[in-house]
Structure 1
């Protein structure tokens, strides 16, 4: 009998070729800093809007092959609640930190026995932080030292670059019927959109098309909520993919206004065909019954989406500052969102929700 020894987890994405791109030509590879490229692109460290910074940051990533995500941020709405000098909406962020996609250490939940575990975190400390000062966004901190290989060729294999956007998915519907074989469809999509589409991406695409048109379901939901004189809020990413659908009927808003002091926030799973987690916010009425006052379907549970949830809740309820206590689990992204948007509310952690 073989002994159960701890296996080193595989790093993601798998490296198809350390030194060659898709066409077999030498790829630009970096395992050190991108400081010189960063300085060439960012001639100044102040910006008049978030769009100005975002455009330059995308240019920097495209040239170096780096991939990043939002680690944390505070919105203009939350910052203006505590600042005397108001921040213009064009800045979007009160503060924001972008980190490399391999930032942090792997969170291993098992015993390390499984041989094929993949983890994005690998201890990389790349970071770019900004903060709003007066009427500008200012870069306050940078660390551009990677501890892993970075190249434009490898960038194509990350999910952020590999995923088809909504328009591409729409264009591909007829092609799926012509190419029922997964390998043929994969080759076609790679050639058509110049993306490193994986076999699992093809399976996911077919499953998504088989499940039906999500946009029509959103339209139906909007009609129902509008009929109840309610409110609907949606957010999409740069590729047009839906990240959040939040809504509250007029009756739900009215219920919150009656019992705003304590709210309970929690997420439930596997209740819709799109596998979007459903977050809900509940109040307790005068009979001790839990009453839902807000719902949000989310694509993932990242820090920025949690902030979008709380921002939508505060906009829809209007008098959300009347909430004195928020009960949630110990998820860091939820905690950060609550503290950013309801800074005066006390936090309670429910053990049954952990």
Structure 2
């Protein structure tokens, strides 16, 4: 979910903050947490600890805490011509500082102006508002296993837990609760620079360098003299690259054209540049 807007937005929550937080006295950190939770639920905001210092007194938890809006981090700078990456961060300046004053907590300073909407629908951009408890996840497992539609699961969660999930949330949960789930990596070895027929299939539960090296050693025993192999064309897996460099020290390691094109296309938004780069990679691969 992308939290962004093409127009300037200023949402002032000063009155709500003064009514819910400033009008109270806090004699423990639990009192502060309850007030912040109430303020967040009323205003559809989410604040995180950006700075804090633990207190040395047993009866108090912090000396001070700076609460910062969850949308407050700055966006990463993008180079000219690069594709913009999805991000929820909007450099929101809203924050407040809670400090320990003798035997109670007080709010020393605050900024309650947000540069984004403070609504229930907009808060879907923050994963914190979509998070399910462990009990809710456990109760949702049968629905995930029986339903093939993300919309049906989203509607079920909306009606039962009053939370708004997105499709990525459903897919992540389904991958963790799928029946017969088994981690497996497939290694296929083909001849003629990856364009020929397969000469060996292998499967491993973990794609570590030791596992791939063992597979390549078995490949040498089965196929005979393969130490004269000149070039390996593979993806960007570090485990595979490290294993080949150990078992076939004299071979060249070449990144396959698909991964080269994908890496180049991530750096530009110009369609003509993408097409030109992909043709260039494809032509060079055919020459080799």
CA distance in 2, matches of 1:182, 1:42: 39
Consecutive unaligned residues in structure 1, runs of 5 or more: 1-10, 19-29, 81-86, 214-269, 272-354
The 3-state SS of whatever aligns with 2:107 is: strand
1:38 aligned onto 2:7: no
Identify the residue that residue 252 of structure 2 maps to in structure 1: none
1:104 deviates by 3.4
* 1:115-136 deviation digits (Å, cap 9, x = unpaired): 3512233221111111112221
Indicate the SS of the match to 1:121.
coil
C-alpha distance in structure 2 between counterparts of 1:212 and 1:34, whole Å: 49
- Does residue 1:92 correspond to 2:76, yes or no? no
Greater strand proportion: 1
Sort the Cα spacing of 1:204 and 1:14 in 2 relative to 1 into closer, same or farther, 3 A. farther
Cα deviation code 1:33-77 (max 9, x no counterpart): 21111111125464111111111111111211222211121122x
| Counterpart residue number, 1:348 | none
Q: Please state how far the C-alpha of 1:172 moved relative to its aligned partner.
A: 0.8
How do 1:118-129 residues align onto structure 2 when only pairs under 5 Å count?
A: 118-129=86-97
**Residue 51 in structure 1 maps to residue 19 in structure 2:** no
Between the aligned partners of 1:175 and 1:150, the Cα distance in structure 2 is 31
Give me the whole-angstrom Cα distance separating, in 1, the residues matched to 2:23 and 2:100.
15
Q: How many residues align?
A: 181
1:167 alignment counterpart: 135
Alignment of 1:97-246 (within 5 A): 97-108=66-77, 111=79, 113-210=81-178
TM-score, normalised to structure 2's length?
A: 0.55
| 1:20-44 Cα shifts (integer Å, max 9, x gaps) | xxxxxxxxxx833211111111254
Going from structure 1 to structure 2, the CA distance change for 1:203 and 1:14 (only over 3 Å counts) comes to: farther
Tell me how far apart the structure 1 counterparts of residues 125 and 159 of structure 2 sit (CA, whole Å): 15
SS at match of 2:51: strand
SS in 2 for 1:119: coil
Classify the secondary structure of the residue corresponding to 1:196.
Answer: coil
Q: Distance in 2 between matches of 1:207 and 1:57?
A: 34
Measure, in 2, the Cα distance between the counterparts of 1:49 and 1:212: 48
Aligned residues of 1:63 and 1:152 also touching (Cα < 8 A): no
| SS of equivalent residue, structure 1 residue 13 | coil
52 and 171 in structure 1: CA distance in 2 versus 1, 3 angstrom threshold: same
**Where does structure 2 lack aligned partners over 5 or more consecutive residues?**
182-206, 209-288
1:66 to 45, 48, 53: 45
Larger radius of gyration: 2
Cα distance in 1 for partners of 2:14, 2:129 equals 23
Higher helix share: 2
Q: Secondary structure, in 3 states, of the residue corresponding to 1:42?
A: helix
SS in structure 1 opposite 2:11?
coil
Structure-2 residue corresponding to 1:6: none
SS at match of 1:115: coil
Summarize the Cα distance change of 1:36–1:178 in structure 2 as closer, same or farther, 3 Å threshold. Answer: same
TM-score by length of 1: 0.46
RMSD of the TM alignment (CA)?
A: 3.0
The 8 Å contact of residues 154 and 164 in structure 2, kept in 1 or not, is answered as no
Distance 1:148 1:184, change over 3 A: closer
Alpha carbons 1:66, 1:100 under 8 Å: kept: yes
Shift of 1:211: 9.5
Shift of residue 191 of structure 1?
A: 2.6
